[in-house]
Every structure is written in structure tokens, then in C-alpha cells.
Amino acid sequence: MLVLSGKEVATKVRSEVQQECTRFKQETGHIPCLAVVLVGDDPASTTYVASKGKACEEMGFDHRDYRLPADTTEDHIVQLVEQLNADPLVDGILVQLPLPAHLSEKRITNTIRDDKDVDGLHPINIGRLLLGDPSFVACTPAGVMRILDHYQIETSGKEVVVVGRSNIVGKPMAALLMQKGRDATVTICHSRTADVGEHTRKADILVAAIGKPLAITADMVKEGAVVIDVGINRVEDASRKRGYRLVGDVDYDAVAPLSSAITPVPGGIGPMTIAMLMENTLIAAKMHV
């Protein structure tokens, strides 16, 4: 069994982006800049946003963080996004999800200019992906593809089962895998699938993006499968100083021995998401000069 180290691949991607950024800045005088908007103080989101800022600094990017109270109005956020859209110094805009319940994720992500949508969530970018001509691709599924490429895991003709149908992971993941050139046979399972295990047991490559700790158990996995765990769940753990530990959507200890390759949590897909965000931000900056 091979452990697919997102941490290692992410380090490689970050170092490539950093080098390319140095070259780009010398050539153009433009500094790539990512604006991150965080509404409310969800602890996991706060941690992610801090990591994104740190990564920008490592790349040599500028970044702007907008931290808004949980009761901020939708109009206020839309106005902020419109300001960032119009600002020539800002290349990428990311509104951290999930948003508080009173805010329309759809209205806000639709406001982001498609050439600044480094999250790949704007309808134009989702449409381009579906049509086989992707521009910005959502960072987590892009990170999964990069890991498969790095470890030369073949997708052509494989049965791939994606568990989860979110706009940010499940749907773009399926679109990427079924693309010409990737050529996987893709099944998507979700919360209303009658028997998830019946599908997952057929998977050559299984992608778990459910958001539920340890939801994929050993009896749901075919021997020799490649298992990609997108979940990052906090579970209480009094033995840890911070009071919790991170676990994936896959019961790693039980599933790893069955699999031919598997991503751990932490150190798997999580670091890839940020690395791909850095790559997307540099691509955006190149579009803007």
C-alpha cells in the first residue's frame, strides 16, 4: 500500500509557483494579489483563511484579508466583492465557505468576476469545465487530479466513484474525471443513494467527499482500490492539547491495508487545496497583465 503524500506534492507545487512568481514579478512588475473574505468566526474557516494568507506570503504574493462579522448583510458583501472586482491590484477573490445561513452563496459567488474566480465556483467557470475547456478549476478537485498525475495513477477506463455531490468538490471532481483524456467512468453517490456500498465496492478509484468522519468503512472498499479522502473533520479528543483531532471521511486504519494507495488525513488532500489556490492566483495574475 502506497501513502499518497499530498504534503509532498503540495510542497513541490508551492515551490514551482514561488519560482514562477519571482520570474513573473521581475518581468512584469506586477505582484499577484489574493483577496480573501471571511464572514463570521467559524474556527475551521478561520484556520483555513490564516493558512491561505501564510501561503501567499511564502509565494511572494500580496494578500488582503477581509474579516466581517457573522451578521454582515448580503448587500455589504456584494459591494465589497464589486470593489475587489474593479480593483486592478487584486487578481483573485475567494469568499470562504460555508457562509452564515442568511447569506446567499449563489448571489455572492456569482458576483465574483470570472477572471478573478480562483475558487472556480462562478457559473462561467463551472460551465467551461463541463464543456471540456476549463479555466479556473475548484482547488480541491484540481488538487486530487494533481496527486493522481504525480503518482501516475491511470484514470482511463477506470471505474471511479465519487461520494458527495457538492458544487465545490463532488460535481467538479466528476467533471474532471470524465473529461476526454481522463476517460474515467464516473458514478456519483450522495445522501439519497440507496446503497452507497454497492457502488463503492466496484470502484477502482474511490473519492470520499462527504464531510462525515469515518463514513467509508472497510466493507465498502474493493481490494486494491485507490482511495482519495477529501474529508477534514474535527472530532473531539481530550488527549490533544487543542481538544480535537482531524480525521477523514475514510476509516483509514481499516481501509488502508486493503487499498493499493490512499491519501492520509491530515497531510493528504488538505495541503493540495491551498497549493492549487496559489497556482490559480498566479494564473489569474498572468491573465491581468
| 222 counts as catalytic | no
Binding of ligand GUN by 203 (CB under 6 A): no
**Site track 183-202 with ligand GUN (rule: CB under 6 A), x = hit:** --------------------
Binding of ligand GUN by 94 (CB under 6 A): yes
C-alpha 87: how far from chain center = 25
| 119 counts as catalytic | yes
Residue 27: CB minimum distance to ligand GUN, A: 29
Rg (CA), the chain: 19
Residue 139: CB minimum distance to ligand GUN, A: 5
Maximum pairwise Cα distance, the chain: 56
Q: Which residue has the cell 453517490?
A: 189
Q: Of 10, 55, 96, 221, which lies in the binding site for ligand GUN, with binding defined by CB under 6 A? A: 96
Catalytic residue, candidates 96, 115, 158, 249? 96
Residue 197: CB minimum distance to ligand GUN, A: 27
Beta carbon nearer to ligand GUN, 112 or 215: 112
Q: Are 279 and 140 in contact (CB under 8 A)?
A: no
* CA 158 – CA 43 distance, rounded (Å): 38
Q: Of 31, 68, 97, 196, which lies in the binding site for ligand GUN, with binding defined by CB under 6 A? A: 97
Q: Are 197 and 175 in contact (CB under 8 A)?
A: no
Catalytic residue, candidates 119, 204, 229, 251? 119
| Category of 157 on φ-ψ map: left (φ > 0), alpha (ψ -120 to 50) or beta | left
Binding of ligand GUN by 273 (CB under 6 A): yes
Residue nearest to ligand GUN (CB): 97
Residue 140: CB minimum distance to ligand GUN, A: 6
The conformation of residue 260, written as its DSSP 8-state character, comes to S
Beta carbon nearer to ligand GUN, 118 or 255: 118
Using CA atoms, how far residue 148 sits from 61, 154, 156, 205, 259, in Å, is 27, 8, 12, 10, 15
Site for ligand GUN in 214-253 (CB under 6 A): none
Q: Of 4, 99, 139, 255, which lies in the binding site for ligand GUN, with binding defined by CB under 6 A? A: 139
* CA 44 – CA 241 distance, rounded (Å): 16
Residue 133: CB minimum distance to ligand GUN, A: 22
| 106 counts as catalytic | no
Neighbours of 27 (CB within 10 A): 9
SS3 (DSSP) at 278? helix
Q: Of 140, 233, 259, 280, which lies in the binding site for ligand GUN, with binding defined by CB under 6 A? A: 140
* CA 132 – CA 86 distance, rounded (Å): 29
Q: What are phi and psi of 219, to 5 degrees?
A: -70, -10
Query: What is the binding site for ligand GUN (CB under 6 A)?
Result: 94-97, 119, 139-140, 168, 273
Catalytic residue positions, numbered = 52, 96, 119
